Amino acid sequence: MKQIKTALISVYHKDGLNEIVQLLNRFNVKIFSTGGTLQFIEDTEVKAESVESLTGYPSILGGRVKTLHPKIFGGLLARRENEDDLSQLKEYEIPEIDLVIVDLYPFEQTVAQGSSEQDIIEKIDIGGISLIRAAAKNYRDVLIVSSRNQYKKLANILDANKCSTSIEQRKHFALEAFNTSSHYDSAIFNYFQQDTEPIAFKQSTQHAKTLRYGENPHQSGMFYGDLAKAFTQLHGKEISYNNLLDIDAAINLIAEFSQPTVAILKHNNACGLATRKNLLHAWTDALAGDPVSAFGGVIITNKPIDESVAKEMDKLFLEVLIAPEFDKEALKVLKSKKNRILLQLNKECLQPKQFRSILNGVLAQDRDTKSETREDLEVVTQQNPAEQEITDLLFANIIVKHSKSNAIVLAKNGQLIASGVGQTSRVDALKHAIEKAKGFKFDLKGAVMASDAFFPFADSIEIAHNAGITAVIQPGGSVRDKETIDYCNSNKIAMVFTGIRHFKH
């Protein structure tokens, strides 16, 4: 155990600090402080000394240099069991510093606000980050508190141990300090790299959650990030690794729709989806798309769930249900199953970048945010698609964009009829979709077909035509596009090109 006798406090955010200052004063801890923090402490009627009185130098360069001095860093870095270190402290009249409370200028927030480059540069902390690293390095003798989020934990320790700390406590605070400093440096690096050719990969999150296991029970699993920003869990068991993959796929998919829509997903792919005038009708038709696969699925809606919808949903075993809102009566119904996971979706949780670890490195790409509209459609056949067909083509194109490649989607009147996903050939994907649609007694006459990539041959178009498909949407771009266009023209099929491929692996 180490007794805290001297503390250095220099913080940007003052909220929550008063309780700590009063505790330190109660245990007669000598406090050094700077600028606004010193004034704050004195306003609480607690005695503190300025850093300038210790160093003999004033704050200079507009506050850029305040604590960068041997009398500060000597007191932090001196090893208390090293006689030479202690001798030098005595020779140069440097006090031992046992506790450092410091936070950093809000660099990320300043960038997010769209501030000027000058303001952003000024929010690159120098003294604070140096104090954090020095105190954390010497955790055997010094306690470092690098965030106001640690004040409650600190207060409990000070109160329980009469202002003493254990080596385990100091090492844990040091761990959190290096988390703070490395995250801060990563944010600065990425700001400087944003407009240049990337030279390195640095991504950081300050939150981590241990999962029950990974993709399979014999694999360990973690989530790095703040799930509370994405959704609020209202009920159910702990979310698993596979749940999170499905939840991510579901949120990305539902974000594409504005009209009342319900999507049912299994293994990251939609097995049921419908857009209707009301959510109850959307649920009924989404479930009809594949009531077998829907068992144990992940359900997401883009509109609030009321009691009438909840009662219908409750008839099916659902693993996860996600909605922007649940009314009270709906929650009563849905909470009847103790393990059912109910998530209330927050507005913003999708990142602009996607990362995947492969081999000995990381792949990075922009998230696929391209959504085709009527203006993007190029009619390449003599037959023009009818108004309802255009609506269905755009609808099907959204679903195929969010399906594993190779993917084919069949849709009709705002309803997913069937899909073939994750196939090694586009023909196999189409055959699977047709077989599935027929298995659930859907009439494919007048349905439309969407493909995530171009058709290399006309064979898929012929198979689709024989099944009753009357309109097709695809990126185009094959050297044999003319063959597919000619087949469509010979059989009065409407086909549009988007010029945009939506592979998903």
| Alpha-carbon span 406 to 403, nearest angstrom | 8
In the chain, what is the straight-line distance between the N-terminal and C-terminal CA atoms, in Å? 54
Instruction: Find, among 335, 320, 339, 309, the residue nearest to 248 by Cα.
Output: 320
| Active-site pick, 267, 311, 335, 438 | 267
Task: Say what angle helices 481-490 and 459-467 make with each other, to 10 degrees.
Answer: 30
Distances (CA, A) of 376 to 370, 402, 461: 11, 18, 21
Does the annotation mark 5 as catalytic? no
| Alpha-carbon span 141 to 166, nearest angstrom | 10
Q: Are strands 99-102 and 143-145 parallel, antiparallel or unpaired?
A: parallel
**Sequential DSSP letters for 8-66:** EEE-S--TTHHHHHHHHHHTT-EEEE-HHHHHHHHHTT---EEHHHHHS---BGGGTBS
| Alpha-carbon span 38 to 32, nearest angstrom | 8
CB 435 within 8 A of CB 425: no
| Alpha-carbon span 175 to 370, nearest angstrom | 41
* Residue labelled with tokens 């490395």: 182
Instruction: Find, among 260, 304, 306, 258, the residue nearest to 281 by Cα.
Output: 260
Cα 32 to the chain's mean position, in Å? Answer: 40
| Active-site pick, 5, 14, 30, 137 | 137
Q: List beta partners, residue 451.
A: 408
The answer for residues whose C-beta is within 8 angstroms of residue 141's C-beta and 6 or more apart is 2, 78, 79, 80, 96, 98, 170
Reading the block at residue 156, the tokens are: 């409990």
| Alpha-carbon span 373 to 387, nearest angstrom | 13
| Alpha-carbon span 98 to 21, nearest angstrom | 15
User: In this structure, what is the dihedral angle of CA atoms 492, 493, 499, 505, given to the nearest 10 degrees?
Assistant: -160
* Cis peptide bond N-terminal to 149, omega within 30: no
Cα 252 to the chain's mean position, in Å? Answer: 11
| Alpha-carbon span 218 to 202, nearest angstrom | 29
Does the annotation mark 267 as catalytic? yes
What amino acid positions are annotated as catalytic residues?
A: 137, 267
